[in-house]
Structure 1
Amino acid sequence: MVGKLSYNKMLQFRENLPAYKKKENILDNIDKSQVLVISGETGCGKSTQIPQLILDRAMNNMTGANVRILVTQPRRIAASSLAMRVAKERAEMLGISVGYSVRLEKVESRPRGSIIFCTTGVLLTELEVNQALSNYSHIILDEVHERDTNVDLAMAVLKQILKKRKDLKLILMSATLDAEALSTYFDNCPVVFIEGLAYPVTDVYLEDILKLTHYQIKKEVLKKHKMQKWKKFEKKVQSREANELEQYIKHNAEIGPWLESIKNNIPLDVYKTLKDPEIEAFNIDLIVVLLKYICNGEPGAILVFLPGIGEITKVMRCMELSGFFNERHEIYPLHSKLATLEQHKIFMRPPLGVRKIILATNIAETSITIDDIVYVVDCGRIKVSGLNVEQNISTLKTEWVSKANLHQRRGRAGRCQPGICYSLLTSYRAQKLADRLLPELQRSNLLEPVLMVKKLRLGLAYTALQTVPSPPAEKTVESAVRHLQKCGALYKTETLTPLGWHLARLPVHPAAGKLLLFGALFGCLDRAASVAAVWSYKDPFLFVMGKEFEIKAVKRRFAMGEPSDHVAMSEAIMQWESCSYRDRRSFAYDHFLSNNTLELLVDMKKQLGENLTQMGFLSSSDLHAQWENRNWNNMSLFKAIVAAALYPNVAQVRWRNLKSVKKHTSIKAVCPVDGKVRIHKSSVMTCLHGTQRREGICNNPGANWLVYWLKQRMSDLFLIDVNLVYTLPLLFFGEFSVKEDLENPEDCLMSITKTINVRCNKNSANTILKLRILLDKVLANKVTKTCPHSVKQSQFEDVVLKTVIELITAEDEQADYIEDDVSGASDDNGR
């Protein structure tokens, strides 16, 4: 009886939603067409109602057992929260007619007459084993307008499946901007538009925000510390002044006409502030000032959109230091790395007299609905990963949002009463934004999408990726295929190798996946998982203005004398983990580490351990198990498997002033394609002074090669997160071929890459070649076994791995190096 009353109460609420009111139109179109695009405004109820309408009608027609609906969402929190909401509307517990499935978390629904919410990645995993999707009658792709890689690949595959399965129904749900384009892609299928259900939302742009808050930019003052540094200080001032002048001219040339047109309608101080280009930069102080202004007004929850987790942390810190926000304010971060339980706290209504403030990334733009949001603060920025297609160089920039983003974000306000959207960009800038961001496939390096194409058995990468709605450039696809062939994931025929199959199943970058697998095989799993987590998220080290020298000193201590950023980051994480829970925060503070980031990294390590266990690669998900960490303190081996994971990201190294006590020791790095590159200043390998070497900061310099995690264009072309290695790791784990040395018949040339060779006498080369063949057999055997992989190897495997480890360790512990000559010249073969 209670359940029936609860159901009827929820039904009354549902009947007022625009999506429910259009049920006859929607259901008729689903009956008539195999594919339907539903375009709905935020808050119309499409995500919760459409699946229920389909299921309810089938049950009323006594055909419910024939219906199983799969609904995809771009993010974990959206899938789980929608499942909970729909179960509540049906007056049920999760697991009856409604369930959800996200990575490492699942609540099964009954096999028939049910709805399952999942991430798009889970759908692709299902397609890997069941390409006909025979368990499902309806597939609903929600938030298709986001156009991430998984959504585009899912659409391409589903388009092919629909030709074979005429009984399968596909419903695409999207924001209004993309509806017609989606219809065209699916052969001009019908489109149903649903209006929104929301109170009016007032838009307040930057020019009005400055009027309301009386905010003015605080100019940083450059301070002179010592007279002997005056020239350096003066140069810094001149450089900053020149840069500011250039920005000022560019800024005012762009917005000048608009600004003059509103000059008479705004106060003079606002006019002057708008002329300063800094006002359009991301400004934490202005955000906090605006939050104070809102909190002094009418009650209502606030949702703040910020570019990333780093900005969320900074704003929370600034709010804390302001002294304004107290027990009358509940502040919640919201981003994809939070545990599911933590994410769901945002839906709870606070006690009377307490204001809820949510600091979120663009995860809050779509799918999730927080009913009590009255105010939205939109910083107008978003973090976008990109790619320079011509140079194949990755970029990560904070950029202006698109008009589609603005529209989605303002739609979060006004759910329970009239709302206000404060946008921290001018009304002029809002009109100039792009309609939408580029699809992810057109702005990423495609390593993971190509692996997904191979896992789904879709054929040649370029051919398969031409079938998505917005295909990537051919050059980008070719570059990704070559990279995967070089790192051992693909054969020359573009089919997956045994290693490639494992990498395709891990939800991380291929380099991170390879590091995990090799860490498990070679007995340094905990250290490898620490670095893999960093590559999947971010470096835990903080940047503190004025403390650069101290931070670098801390990093070098963590590096334990090794020329490796990866040793430093893994040691920092492992030492933090070994602290008691009570001491972790102070350890992080003392070592310039972000405690929040470290907590997330450790959670990610646990997830990676569970992934490896599910794959059958580990017998348990314990990353600290003794056998999997039998070589945890062999840094020579660890650097070698990092090199194996990062190959073919290889550069040559020349040392300068290595024997000098007075001059700074430095290294020059040269990439085969790009020529001279710079090592990022955050690396432990920058500015190694002779006295510092004597103190053990870099015990063993002189390696001839470095591998790097990222090559990124900033003020210059930088290598980020580097690891110096000798030659053998690259010969054992990279591409390998031997050819005659025409200049020296007694020697031969072994390849590091296609353009770099090393000279070696024939006997040694023959020995290395034999050992390489044996090692390949051992590794191939390990990755093709079923379960478990990480068990003690046979005597043959033990001898091979032990020999390789001993050789790598012996080579790394010697000090054979190449010091740069005066001209810095080297021959084409890098000998």
Structure 2
Amino acid sequence: QVRFESSMSPGTRLLFCTSGILLRRLHSDPSLEGVRVLVVDEIHERDCNSDFIMIILKQLLAYTRLDLKLILMSATVEAGQFQHYFKDVNPGGLPPVLQIEGTTHPVDQYFLEDAVEWTRYEYDKRDGFKSGKRKFEDMVGAERGVPNMNPAQRLTELSKAYKEWSAETGTKYSDRTLGVVAQIDCDDLVCMQFDLIVELCVYWTNAQTPGAILIFVPGWGEIKAIMTRLQQHHLKDYWTVYPLHSQVSSREQQMVFHPPPNGTRKIIISTNIAESSVTISDVVFVIDTGVKKEKTYAPATNMPCLDAALVAKANALQRKGRAGRCQHGVCVHLFSRMRWKDLDDYQQPEILRTPLEELCLQIKMLNLGGIAEFLKHAMHPPPKASVDYAITMLQDIQALDSEQYLTHLGKLLASLPVHPLVGKMLIYGALFQVIDPVAVIAASLTTKSAFVLPSDRRHDADLDRRFLGQERQSDHYAQWQAYRGWESASNQGYERHYCDQHHLSITVLQMIKRTKSQFIKTLLDAGFVKPSANSGD
């Protein structure tokens, strides 16, 4: 059972569901009557919902359901943390840990320098995706006593560091390869070279080694960008390419499990949905970009957002494990061995790095007591300042009263699977019958701005944004006007010209359109708008 699909019946004895479905079940059935065994998989991911459920289950085991059996599972987890967390509610003290060995074949692990050496890749700084973060390179500079390096210094120091590392470890790569790797690492902390990914697909295709290729990328925009490059390549007839993303229909997702047409190689481009949720048996080659979308806090909008970030070692090992299910596998991480050494072992729990307003509403909706007191029982309790800020913000928008009880608006916001600030925008948009522009603005706030600011034409781009904002001098209005213009241009066949003219990102606009559609569907499901109000989708 997932959010919009269910195969559950009165005869169901085994139910697979998402953490969100489990939370809704807890709302209507706090004691989980009729459930004898609960299995929670992929506990290493430590998202807010998982940590929230852990607190509830610990209390359930302590006071209400002493007979409930809880099984926590993961292929890569720090088991000791979970043992100590649940030891107080386990009759025998520390819960036992069972290690179950898999039957996978060996997987050879390679890194960026190997990919560059094999393909003779020429670095193009205009290619691919960059985040604008340079933490790794700044760290190298600080270690060498040059903390604030300009680009030329950064490249020189990083090149020296790679050559020293190669000499110290006895790892042999050509100076050319080490120079290209230094250039890529120097350019950005979170960086994907789309052309290098295509070159690896070409390399394995020419080698004629059978097996599907699985490519891990952070989001839909990167999936589309790589698909476009593969479909334009002269070897395209030898490839059958599938996207794998949460927004792809279940029927389309099933295609990745089928053998490709004769004479072609299956290439799957996926987000971390394929990291642990699915296993594709014929995958032999994995390309791990080392990047994921991570929920963080955006101070500019005062809301959570999905931002590109480096994976932790646990995630990278999960990705590596997707190869070798049917034969000897190969995994190439598109970051250097030096960077691998500095990756975190596990990702930071989401509860420590994201706004807590949605969680606070759920605590009140489930009648779990005081917010601050409840969150003290988390495996990693969030800072008191973060909790206080969330409560104050919910009171400011009148979702909680002065005694921290849910208001009528708070109950409505708790029923929507979006941040309360976005939820209130959408509810008011529906009430005042302006849902289309409000949904677009809300979507742009929760994704990113559609406006591109090229360094060499920043002044022109700023003038375009002001022009679209007209006399209102509103960024929100400018986003809405840009979106309307893009939709019109797309319908008339001059989408690219319009976006180039107004310095807009087609990928971001497509993302905004999908998010807007999700918002309107959420309002339809909750009964806030009638189907006739959804004229734009």
Give the TM-score normalised by the residue count of structure 2: 0.84
Deviation at residue 528 of structure 1 after TM alignment: 1.2
For residues 634-692 of structure 1, what are the alpha-carbon distances to aligned partners after superposition, in whole Å with 9 as ceiling and x for unaligned?
Answer: xxxxxxxxxxxxxxxxxxxxxxxxxxxxxxxxxxxxxxxxxxxxxxxxxxxxxxxxxxx
C-alpha distance in 2 between matches for 1:173 and 1:600: 33
Identify the structure with bigger relative contact order (alpha carbons < 8 Å, sequence gap 6+).
Answer: 2
C-alpha distance in 2 between matches for 1:421 and 1:535: 36
Gaps of 5+ in 1: 1-99, 221-240, 627-831
Seen in structure 2, the aligned counterparts of structure 1 residues 610 and 285 have a Cα distance that, compared at 3 Å, is closer
**Correspondence for 1:774:** none
Output the amino acid matched with 2:531: S
Q: How does 1:89-488 map to 2 (within 5 A)?
A: 100=1, 102-103=2-3, 105-162=4-61, 163-187=63-87, 188-218=94-124, 243-248=150-155, 251=158, 255=162, 257-262=164-169, 265-276=172-183, 277-278=185-186, 281-297=191-207, 298-320=209-231, 323-386=233-296, 398-488=308-398
C-alpha distance in 2 between matches for 1:487 and 1:294: 55
Contact kept, 8 Å, 2:113 with 2:181, in 1: the verdict is: yes
1:573 aligns with 2:480: no
Q: How does 1:583-598 map to 2 (within 5 A)?
A: 583=493, 585=495, 589=499, 593-595=504-506, 597-598=508-509
C-alpha distance in 2 between matches for 1:464 and 1:202: 45
Deviation at residue 242 of structure 1 after TM alignment: 5.8
**Correspondence for 1:696:** none
Seen in structure 2, the aligned counterparts of structure 1 residues 432 and 605 have a Cα distance that, compared at 3 Å, is closer
**SS in structure 1 at match of 2:108:** strand
**Correspondence for 1:529:** 439
Deviation at residue 581 of structure 1 after TM alignment: 5.4
C-alpha distance in 2 between matches for 1:264 and 1:115: 51
Moved more, 378-387 or 299-308: 378-387
Output the amino acid matched with 1:356: K
Deviation at residue 394 of structure 1 after TM alignment: 7.2
Gaps of 5+ in 2: 88-93, 127-147
C-alpha distance in 1 between matches for 2:125 and 2:11: 64
**Correspondence for 2:145:** none
Contact kept, 8 Å, 2:221 with 2:507, in 1: the verdict is: no
**Paired residue for 1:518, among 428, 434, 437?**
428
Number of residue equivalences: 501
Deviation at residue 437 of structure 1 after TM alignment: 0.8
Give the TM-score normalised by the residue count of structure 1: 0.56
C-alpha distance in 2 between matches for 1:587 and 1:338: 28
Which of the pair has more CA radius of gyration? 1
**SS in structure 2 at match of 1:350:** coil
Seen in structure 2, the aligned counterparts of structure 1 residues 184 and 484 have a Cα distance that, compared at 3 Å, is same
C-alpha distance in 2 between matches for 1:503 and 1:523: 18
Deviation at residue 487 of structure 1 after TM alignment: 1.7
Whose helix proportion is higher, 1 or 2?
2
CA RMSD of aligned residues (A): 3.1
Seen in structure 2, the aligned counterparts of structure 1 residues 503 and 486 have a Cα distance that, compared at 3 Å, is same
Seen in structure 2, the aligned counterparts of structure 1 residues 456 and 251 have a Cα distance that, compared at 3 Å, is farther
Deviation at residue 365 of structure 1 after TM alignment: 0.8
Contact kept, 8 Å, 1:447 with 1:481, in 2: the verdict is: yes
Contact kept, 8 Å, 1:109 with 1:115, in 2: the verdict is: no
Structure 1 residue ranges, 4+ long, deviating more than 6 angstroms after superposition: 392-396
For residues 321-380 of structure 1, what are the alpha-carbon distances to aligned partners after superposition, in whole Å with 9 as ceiling and x for unaligned?
Answer: 5x3342322223333343444433323321111122222222221111112211001122
Deviation at residue 262 of structure 1 after TM alignment: 4.5
C-alpha distance in 2 between matches for 1:365 and 1:264: 29
Seen in structure 2, the aligned counterparts of structure 1 residues 502 and 443 have a Cα distance that, compared at 3 Å, is same
C-alpha distance in 2 between matches for 1:151 and 1:200: 31
For residues 397-420 of structure 1, what are the alpha-carbon distances to aligned partners after superposition, in whole Å with 9 as ceiling and x for unaligned?
Answer: 543321101110000111122110
Output the amino acid matched with 2:179: K
Contact kept, 8 Å, 2:105 with 2:328, in 1: the verdict is: yes
Contact kept, 8 Å, 1:374 with 1:415, in 2: the verdict is: yes
C-alpha distance in 1 between matches for 2:193 and 2:322: 22
C-alpha distance in 2 between matches for 1:624 and 1:452: 28
Output the amino acid matched with 2:27: E
**Correspondence for 1:71:** none
Seen in structure 2, the aligned counterparts of structure 1 residues 219 and 556 have a Cα distance that, compared at 3 Å, is closer
For residues 772-793 of structure 1, what are the alpha-carbon distances to aligned partners after superposition, in whole Å with 9 as ceiling and x for unaligned?
Answer: xxxxxxxxxxxxxxxxxxxxxx
**Correspondence for 1:90:** none
**SS in structure 2 at match of 1:333:** strand
Whose strand proportion is higher, 1 or 2?
1
Seen in structure 2, the aligned counterparts of structure 1 residues 507 and 394 have a Cα distance that, compared at 3 Å, is closer
Seen in structure 2, the aligned counterparts of structure 1 residues 536 and 495 have a Cα distance that, compared at 3 Å, is same
Contact kept, 8 Å, 1:153 with 1:468, in 2: the verdict is: yes
Contact kept, 8 Å, 2:43 with 2:77, in 1: the verdict is: no
**SS in structure 1 at match of 2:15:** strand
Output the amino acid matched with 1:115: L
Contact kept, 8 Å, 2:240 with 2:261, in 1: the verdict is: no
C-alpha distance in 1 between matches for 2:156 and 2:499: 41
Deviation at residue 520 of structure 1 after TM alignment: 1.2
C-alpha distance in 1 between matches for 2:156 and 2:496: 46
C-alpha distance in 1 between matches for 2:382 and 2:491: 47
C-alpha distance in 2 between matches for 1:407 and 1:175: 9
1:621 aligns with 2:531: yes
Deviation at residue 513 of structure 1 after TM alignment: 0.5
